[in-house]
A and B are shown apart, each in its own frame.
Chain A
């Protein structure tokens, strides 16, 4: 049956247009019920005995939720809330296209009313339809859920079973906890509603858009300040490079924006601009709930320090996700309303309603925000789930992953179904486009305990006297085919995340630790990059091929180093390693001559207790010659591949760039060096590398490392990008004009894409549409960059957490360290032994601030009589501060130099250090 829809639409230019559209009504939309014998459906979703025990409906029933109900409960991109947690199968019935349930909008009826009526008609149809099969369904009925009073009334009039959503959920016998998870609906918050309006109204979207167009408002991402809950910045993306930041201060001006929201801001007049305050303010007011004191007037700030200041006038897009945190149980007994404090300090507290407060106290829980009315001091939310007891290792790890948005669920069945069937063997079809390199003496060199080996090397002398060097990378793209569930999952995860003692894989373990891992003495598929070089490490010929290899040995860095050094050994593998090592040294020298930077950051390794998985010792990672040997060839492979795919696909090659930092980034480094009378040149990477090399201070061997650590902090983030979308390809840190990632496809998705591109370039594989689409490619790069950043943060957070565990078991320690930065009221100290960085505060809440004089030029900090410079050697005592269970931290206090009133006497730590495991 054909129906025509006619409606009038206003065009962009202001004209009015009449639009006519066809609407085909179908009679092949089936009811989806198991009980039905009339409909010719292929698969039934709704079971015959749909039984949820409920006080209200004691018979089996189907639910038809009002669209508003569903939208209210399932918004925020998240599927599992309220209703959906019921053991229900959902069958989306297309009412609007079905002939039986289609209704026409009557004159004078609003769109909303029409929808409500449509739902009622649908419910009616369903119940009549099911009545036909009453005999074998023992009274299966249809229940309509709605939150709209009018709708409910009308439904009752037409003899339908109808309940309010909350009413229904409350009646469920089996799942009493579901009530907490319901999003608060707007009409039952009356008690919280104080008459006082705390926030100005948000502007409607149309006015915001008009304002942005005319330039009176700016659109940007809201970033709350970590240290001061009354302050935030809005990052306004300008065209090209010129992006600005707008400062926002005060609760009224923040106007209910939450971290990461996209907001519209209005700039305040210039005379109201302020400087960012350097005070640390945490929202601790539970008592002073409603009377928020105004920010005290800033003392005379210099004109230069003032920043553009504005206020939030409207929210363009909320970016709420479920937040992890802990419950502050309300002091009033029997109260069901509680405040929830998120782990992320940039998120405001959330008011939730729950009856399980006593069980949830002391647990880490997840809460979702439902809304933030203008008369409420805090946003309203609802409880989602509990993660476990606070402070427990598993819980904290879960929190860490959730807070950094690391996808860490087990792989779904759909994903696993694309894995190759075991036992797996190389078939003749696999060999068609592959070169057989099984005879070569290939070996892999990795850190100890590594199970995902994605690279292997070989080196041999050719008959013409030249050397043949091969880098063999696991051929992951052979197993992960474009577009399937496995590929999509990997693309979403983006990278494998390494936490202390735990690995969150990007691809299922069968691939990462077995089929793709280039283990020794098994045949594995590889993607090889083979060069012919002369003895001066000059590349004469480069070729790429898919291959089959059989690694002869998987070594650790230390083992490889031993083989090279051991002159008695003379087998093929060792010879090959020596050849590689020799070439690597030349390559490295040449790279450094070109201006590649050698930077430094301290990385620590934890020695884990094999049973409890608690850290028992901590050690900074050592670098050996073989580390740099492997690295050198990986770099060379990456550069060769980057050049090849860019030559072949100038529009859609996936590359990696590292922009040069702006000169102002180096200020801190220059000042620090100057304090030791060392001059650092930062005009180019080469100049920087050279001056870092010569920077030495007599009697201070660690100075150079410290300087390099500082230099690392000045750098920009390296990012993936699509060559068609950018023109600057330079990699600053490696001093290479072009670079990409090719060598770790097991743990990075970018490498898989590069593999595919290269495979197409050499004719070993076919292309697919998304690979050649630069916009899709670019969107993928954004996701990869985001995942990499988050993975890094998660890694750091994990190290920090394990450091805390370590110090918890160790008690108090005294250590030597160096001053890394000097701040207004604190110094930041680096302890080389643990690679640990901590802040020593000189003013605190409980003690009177000593006489502090901060000199920005130095920068130096003078306390009483003692002046701290960067690189000063100090002695500190380290302990764990667990006064705040949600944010445990390492506390450092000064022991040496002794300053009265500031430093603390050295506690005796001797006996504790010797029995580290006793006081766990």
Chain B
């Protein structure tokens, strides 16, 4: 690859991390009072805000109503100030639509929708600052928001991107790495059961490497789930102190 050396001989990445190390994850739940559930999550320099409404009655066209489970409605958008160059169209472009669809698929696999027939759950995610791994940060933030809303899920959904450089999988890519021509893969996992909620890759990769890459992604997702679990417990403690229980 011309220019950037993504992995040094001593095994350090551009930003000083080792191959398997994640970026620093920080999160808060219940950031808005109006919404049913909300969360703010930072993964390195990528920052996302997730808001959940519902479950509530179907709005808009009734025809989309499902009689055995809830409809999940996702909307993904990026703040105009989220990237180095100001974005013209914050949502509704092709990329955002695709991302919305992926989020919807992910949460349909995780949320116990059959508990709420004929109703709807809205998940809105906004990227406030983008530095790689947008999809996974959105999933992680939305998970916290759904938990905050008290909607039952099978498990946390944790997501992480993994790239492949010099025969080594790199966990949690930052933007510089993502744009450096790495074949990368995004994986959303239900960590306890080890089920994969979504796997997405649009780069070329030899079949032999796929297994190691998925393996690495799963380890990374489990790492994320630990952090999320801590955040949830911390939050619960705070809330219970406030309510005096």
Residue ranges of A at the interface with B (Cβ–Cβ < 8 Å): 2, 4, 11, 15, 17-26, 92, 94, 96-97, 766-769, 772-773
Q: How far is the CB of A855 from chain B (nearest CB, A)?
A: 55
Q: A2-B24, A92-B9 are in contact. Are A772 and B206 (CB under 8 A)?
A: yes
Would you list the 10 A-B pairs with minimal beta carbon distance, nearest first?
A769-B206, A97-B16, A24-B16, A17-B84, A22-B15, A22-B44, A24-B17, A23-B15, A24-B15, A94-B10
Q: How far is the CB of A378 from chain B (nearest CB, A)?
A: 34
Docked CA distance A823–B14 (Å) = 61
Instruction: Report the bound CA distance from A97 to B12 in whole Å.
Output: 9
Would you call B174 and A19 a contact (CB within 8 A)? no
Q: Is the CB of B14 within 8 A of A21?
A: yes
Report Cα–Cα, A96/B10, bound state, in Å. Answer: 13
A4 CA to B21 CA, complexed, in Å: 17
Instruction: Report which residue of A96, A768, A769, A772 has the largest number of chain B beta carbons within 10 angstroms of its beta carbon.
Output: A769
Chain B 165-202 near chain A by CB (<8 Å), digits 1 or 0: 00000000010100000000000000000000000000
B5 → A minimal CB distance (Å): 13
The answer on a CB contact under 8 Å between B174 and A21 is yes
Contact with A along B191-218 (1 / 0, CB 8 A): 0000000000000001011000000000
Collect the chain B residues with CB atoms within 8 Å of residue A20's CB: 45, 84, 131
When chains A and B are docked, how far (Å) is the Cα of A767 from the Cα of B208?
8
Chain A residues within an 8 Å CB radius of B17: 24
**Bound complex: CA of A20 vs CA of B130, how far in Å?**
10
Chain A proximity of B81: nearest CB distance (Å): 11
Chain A, Cβ-Cβ closest to B15:
A22
B184 to chain A, nearest CB (A): 16
Nearest-neighbour CB distance to chain A for B59, whole angstroms, equals 39
Cβ of B114 within 8 Å of any chain A Cβ, yes or no, is no
Chain B binding surface SS class: loop
Asked if B102 is at the interface of the complex by the 8 Å CB criterion, the answer is: no
Closest to A19 in B: B84
* B209 and A769 contacting across the interface, CB-CB below 8 Å: yes
Asked if B8 is at the interface of the complex by the 8 Å CB criterion, the answer is: yes
User: Per-residue CB proximity of B81-95 to A under 8 Å, as 1/0?
Assistant: 000110000000000
Chain B residues lying within 8 Å of A2, measured Cβ to Cβ, are 24
B23 beta carbon closer than 8 Å to chain A: yes
In the complex, what distance in Å separates the CA atom of A2 from the CA atom of B16? Answer: 10
Q: Provided the pairs A21-B14, A94-B8 are in contact, do residues A769 and B84 lie with their beta carbons within 8 angstroms?
A: no
Please give the residue numbers on chain B whose beta carbons come within 8 Å of chain A beta carbons, in ascending order: 8-10, 12, 14-17, 21, 23-24, 44-45, 84-85, 131, 174, 176, 206, 208-209
Instruction: Enumerate 27 A-B pairs (CB-CB under 8 Å) in ascending A order.
Output: A4-B45, A11-B85, A15-B85, A17-B85, A18-B84, A20-B45, A20-B131, A21-B45, A21-B176, A22-B15, A22-B23, A22-B174, A23-B15, A23-B16, A24-B15, A24-B16, A24-B24, A92-B9, A94-B12, A96-B16, A97-B12, A766-B208, A768-B206, A769-B206, A769-B209, A772-B206, A773-B206
User: Given the complex, which residues of A lie within 8 Å of B176, measured CB to CB?
Assistant: 21
Most buried by A among B44, B84, B85: B84
CA–CA, A17 and B45, complex, Å: 16
A25 to B16, CA, bound (A): 7
Q: How far is the CA of A768 from the CA of B209 in the complex (A)?
A: 9
A15-B85, A94-B10, A94-B12 known; A22-B45 Cβ under 8 A? yes
Q: A15-B85, A17-B84, A94-B8 are in contact. List 4 more A-B contacts (CB 8 A).
A: A21-B174, A22-B15, A25-B16, A94-B12
Interfacial chain B residues near A21, Cβ < 8 Å: 14-15, 45, 131, 174, 176
Q: Which chain B residues border A19 with CB–CB below 8 Å?
A: 84
Contacts of A96 in B (CB 8 A): 16
Instruction: Tell me how far the C-beta of A771 lies from the nearest C-beta in chain B, rounded to whole angstroms.
Output: 9
A525 CA to B48 CA, complexed, in Å: 60
Shortest CB-to-CB span from A96 to chain B, Å, is 8
Chain A residues whose C-beta falls within 8 Å of the C-beta of B45 in the assembled complex: 4, 20-22
In the bound assembly, the distance between CA atoms of A19 and B131 in angstroms comes to 10
Q: Is the pair A769, B208 in contact by a Cβ cutoff of 8 Å?
A: yes
Task: Give Cα distance in the complex from A18 to B85, angstroms.
Answer: 8
The interface residues of chain B lying within 8 Å CB-to-CB of A97 are 12, 16
For the complex, give the distance between the alpha carbons of A336 and B176 in Å.
51
Q: How far is the CA of A214 from the CA of B79 in the complex (A)?
A: 40
Q: Across the interface, which residues of B come within 8 angstroms of A4, CB to CB?
A: 45
Docked pose: A624 CA to B228 CA in angstroms:
80
Cβ of A384 to closest chain B Cβ, rounded Å: 25
CB contacts (< 8 Å) of B85 on chain A: these are: 11, 15, 17
Q: In whole angstroms, what is the CA distance A767 to B14 when docked? A: 32
> Which residue in chain B gives the minimum CB-CB distance to A13?
B85
Shortest CB–CB separation between residue B88 and chain A, in angstroms?
14
- Rounded to whole angstroms, the CA-CA distance of A767 and B9 in the bound complex is 27
Most chain-A CB neighbours within 10 Å: which of B16, B85, B206, B208?
Answer: B16
Knowing A24-B16, A97-B16, the reply to whether A92 touches B10 (Cβ < 8 A) is yes
Query: Which residues in A have their C-beta under 8 angstroms from that of B84?
Result: 17-20
Which chain A residue has the least Cβ–Cβ distance from B11? A94
B166 to chain A, nearest CB (A): 12
Q: Which residue of B lies closest to A18 (CB)?
A: B84
| Shortest distance between the CB of B120 and any CB in chain A (Å) | 38
Residues in B with CB closer than 8 Å to A94 are 8, 10, 12
CB-CB nearest in chain B for A99:
B16
Kindly list chain A residues whose C-beta atoms are within 8 Å of the C-beta of B14. Answer: 21
A305 to B10, CA, bound (A): 57
Cα-based distance from A768 to B207 in the complex (angstroms): 8
Q: Which residue of A lies closest to B23 (CB)?
A: A22
Chain B residues near A92: list those with CB within 8 A: 9-10
Q: In the complex, what distance in Å separates the CA atom of A22 from the CA atom of B131?
A: 10
Cβ distance B212 to chain A, nearest Cβ, rounded Å: 11
- Which residues from B are CB-within-8-Å of A769? 206, 208-209
Residues of B within 8 A of A23 (CB): 15-16
How many whole Å from B175's CB to the nearest CB in chain A? Answer: 8
- Of the listed residues A17, A24, A773, the one surrounded by the most CB atoms of chain B closer than 10 A to its CB is A24
A690 CB to nearest B CB, Å: 49
- B75 to chain A minimum Cβ distance, whole angstroms, is 27
Q: Bound complex: CA of A18 vs CA of B206, how far in Å? A: 36
> Smallest Cβ distance from A95 to chain B, in angstroms?
11
B26 to chain A, nearest CB (A): 10
Q: Residues of A contacting B21 with CB < 8 Å?
A: 24
The CA-CA distance from A767 to B206 in the complex, in Å, is 10
- Report the minimal beta-carbon distance from A797 to chain B, rounded to whole angstroms: 36
- Chain A residues contacting B10 (CB-CB under 8 Å) are 92, 94
| Contact indicator A768/B15 (Cβ below 8 Å) | no
For B24, give the chain A residue with the smallest CB separation.
Answer: A2
B209 proximity list for chain A (CB < 8 A): 769
Contacts of A766 in B (CB 8 A): 208
Q: Return chain B residues, CB-CB under 8 Å to A24.
A: 15-17, 21, 24
Q: How far is the CA of A17 from the CA of B174 in the complex (A)?
A: 17
Chain A min CB distance to B210 (Å): 10
Chain B residues lying within 8 Å of A17, measured Cβ to Cβ, are 84-85
Assembled-state Cα–Cα distance A768/B176 (Å): 28
CA distance A769 to B16 in the complex (A): 29
Residues of chain A with a CB closer than 8 A to B9's CB: 92
**C-alpha spacing A719/B89, complex, angstroms:** 52
Residue of A nearest to B8 (CB): A94
Q: Determine the chain A residues whose CB is within 8 A of the CB of B15 once the complex forms.
A: 21-24
C-alpha spacing A277/B87, complex, angstroms: 62
Task: Tell me the smallest distance from the CB of B177 to a CB of chain A, in Å.
Answer: 11
Residues of A within 8 A of B8 (CB): 94
Other-chain contact of B208, A15, A26, A768 (Cβ < 8 Å): A768
Kindly provide the distance from the CB of A686 to the nearest chain B CB, expressed in whole angstroms.
Answer: 43
Which residues of A lie under 8 Å from residue B206 when comparing CB positions?
A: 768-769, 772-773
A295 to B140, CA, bound (A): 75
Q: Are A26 and B131 in contact (CB under 8 A)?
A: no
State in angstroms the CA–CA spacing of A2 and B24 once bound together. Answer: 9
A46–chain B nearest beta-carbon distance, Å: 15
| Chain A nearest CB, measured from B7 CB (Å) | 13
Whole-angstrom distance from the CB of A27 to the nearest CB of chain B? 11
